[in-house]
Amino acid sequence: MTKEQLLENYLANLDKALGLVDDTDDLSFSTSGTYDLVNHKLDIYNRISKLMDMVQKEIEKGEQ
């Protein structure tokens, strides 16, 4: 596989991970730390999104 193909595969897997984070919206957390869990989820979502942007830029750089 080429570097671009590997990065595209990685990007697809990150997109799946992002979807899994979104799927937790329907979960109800009965602990007192619900606010902390929501903040943690948002942090994970933002980190995955940022990583996806970095990988996409690397793919675009390789295609030029």
Greater confidence (31 vs 61) lies with 61
* Distance between first and last Cα of the chain: 18
Encoded tokens for 21:
């984070």
For residue 32, the model assigns a pLDDT of 57
Q: Which residues of 18-49 are buried (b: 16+ CB within 10 A; e: fewer)?
A: beeeeeeeeeeeeeeeeeeeeeebeeeeeebe
For residue 9, the model assigns a pLDDT of 95
Encoded tokens for 2:
């080429």
Encoded tokens for 38:
């929501």
Give 12-57 pLDDT, tens digit per residue: 999 999 888 887 766 665 555 667 777 888 899 999 999 999 999 9
